[in-house]
Each structure stands twice: as structure tokens, then as C-alpha cells.
């Protein structure tokens, strides 16, 4: 009987997990080619922490800071994002980041730029499973094409480790106006040209 109850509970968790997976899907809308993590000890490791919700407990891929405990992520999106939630999973040690500073729409930030006042700051608690959700200010983060996440400190270790960063929100296409407009203009013009050409062919046959 007890086992049966446990199964029921497990199903419930699974349903919640599916729902979280749907909510925490903004990693799909990150321009991974141009995502960068500064002060990562292994090049490219920072990109691996933006992964599906069901991979949040994966301990194979993680990022660790190099020279000191700071990490700075520059995260370009493939459109505009209304950011509604952030989850971070690290380990239950002093390597867990202790603070998160958010900047919106400031591409290519470096450690020289972090003296600028952030748009929001979160004091983080140790969380090895990504259960805590941090809520960005809706008004501030309603149209984000680029998000910078600065982790300035941890709980006292020499380096900071992060296993998972989850982002929840709504995505709408297009902030690269130049590219978008060119693409849309090119298509109708091509079609018009083809149609005119077909018309003239038809008339000649008549």
C-alpha cells in the first residue's frame, strides 16, 4: 500500500516536471553561437549550463570560474524575451554563487563594465536542485534581447561552480531588425518578379 502511494506521488512529480520543462524552455531561444561566459576555466563550459529542465541535475556539464570566483554570462536571445523566472543549480558547497546581478540589453559586457548599476540584484541561497525561483521585475525585463548575468561572489570558495541556469518567460521573434527586414523584403520581391515573368510568358503563348 505504501508503495502504491509512493507511485502516485512519483506521477505527480513527473507531471510537475513536464510542466516545468515547458516553462523553462528559453534555453532554446538563446543564440548559442554568440553566448559567452567570461572567466570560465574551460572554454565553452558556460554554454553547457543552459540545458533542458530534465537535465538540471546532470553533473557532467558545468562551468567553474577560473582566476577568481566571478563569472559573467553574455546571453543573446534570438528574439525578444519577457523574462519571468530564473533558477540556478550549483552544489551544496561554498562554490555555490551567493549573488546574481542582472543587466538587460547590454551586449558584450566585460568585467570593466560591471561597475555599472545592475537592473536587478538577487541574493542567492544554496540550491543543488534548482528548486528556488528568482523573479525578475516584470516591468524591467519585459523586452530583453540580451541578458547579462554577473555572479560576483560565492560562499567563500576559491572558485564558483554552476551546473544549471534555467530561464522562464515568453519569447517573441525579432530584434535583429536589419536581418529581419532584409529577409522579408527579399521574399515578396522575388515572388512579384516571378509572377510578372509568368504573366508575360502566358501572354506570349496567347
The total of other beta-carbon atoms located within 10 Å of residue 145's CB is: 17
Q: Please tell me whether residues 161 and 204 are part of one structural domain.
A: no
Q: Please tell me whether residues 127 and 37 are part of one structural domain.
A: yes
Q: Please tell me whether residues 35 and 108 are part of one structural domain.
A: yes
* pLDDT value of position 17: 77
Q: Please tell me whether residues 71 and 44 are part of one structural domain.
A: yes
Q: Which of these, 77, 50, 76, lies nearest to 63 by C-alpha position?
A: 50
Counting the structural domains of the chain, the total is 2
For residues 20 and 54, the answer to whether their CB atoms sit within 8 Å is no
Q: Please tell me whether residues 134 and 200 are part of one structural domain.
A: no
pLDDT band at 13 (very low <50, low <70, confident <90, very high): low
Burial group, residue 197, by CB count within 10 angstroms (0-12, 13-18, 19+) = exposed
What sign for the dihedral angle of Cα 189, 194, 198, 201? positive
Q: Cα–chain-centroid distance for residue 96?
A: 19
- Tens digit of each residue's pLDDT (9 = 90 or more) over 118-169: 999 999 999 999 999 999 999 999 999 999 999 999 999 999 999 999 999 9
Q: Please tell me whether residues 186 and 106 are part of one structural domain.
A: no
Q: Please tell me whether residues 133 and 89 are part of one structural domain.
A: yes
Q: Please tell me whether residues 150 and 201 are part of one structural domain.
A: no
- Domain span including residue 37: 2-175
Q: Please tell me whether residues 183 and 160 are part of one structural domain.
A: no
Q: Please tell me whether residues 93 and 115 are part of one structural domain.
A: yes
Q: Please tell me whether residues 170 and 188 are part of one structural domain.
A: no
- Tens digit of each residue's pLDDT (9 = 90 or more) over 23-68: 999 999 999 999 999 999 999 999 999 999 999 999 999 999 999 9
Q: Please tell me whether residues 46 and 116 are part of one structural domain.
A: yes
Amino acid at each position: 500500500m505504501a508503495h502504491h502511494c509512493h507511485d502516485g506521488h512519483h506521477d505527480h512529480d513527473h507531471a510537475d516536471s513536464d510542466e516545468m520543462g515547458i516553462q523553462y524552455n528559453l534555453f532554446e531561444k538563446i543564440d548559442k553561437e554568440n553566448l559567452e561566459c567570461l572567466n570560465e576555466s574551460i572554454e565553452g563550459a558556460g554554454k553547457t549550463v543552459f540545458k533542458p529542465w530534465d537535465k538540471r541535475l546532470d553533473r557532467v556539464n558545468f562551468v567553474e570560474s577560473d582566476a577568481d570566483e566571478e563569472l559573467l554570462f553574455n546571453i543573446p536571445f534570438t528574439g525578444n524575451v519577457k523574462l519571468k523566472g530564473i533558477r540556478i543549480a550549483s552544489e551544496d558547497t561554498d562554490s555555490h554563487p551567493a549573488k546574481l546581478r542582472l543587466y538587460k540589453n547590454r551586449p558584450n559586457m566585460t568585467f570593466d563594465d560591471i561597475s555599472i548599476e545592475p537592473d536587478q540584484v538577487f541574493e542567492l541561497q544554496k540550491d543543488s536542485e534548482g528548486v528556488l525561483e528568482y523573479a525578475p521585475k516584470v516591468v524591467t525585463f519585459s523586452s530583453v534581447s540580451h541578458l547579462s548575468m554577473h555572479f560576483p561572489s560565492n560562499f567563500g570558495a576559491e572558485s564558483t561552480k554552476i551546473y544549471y541556469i534555467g530561464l522562464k518567460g515568453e519569447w517573441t521573434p525579432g530584434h535583429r531588425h536589419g536581418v529581419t527586414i532584409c529577409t522579408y523584403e527579399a521574399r515578396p520581391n522575388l515572388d512579384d518578379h516571378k509572377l510578372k515573368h509568368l504573366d508575360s510568358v502566358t501572354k506570349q503563348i496567347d
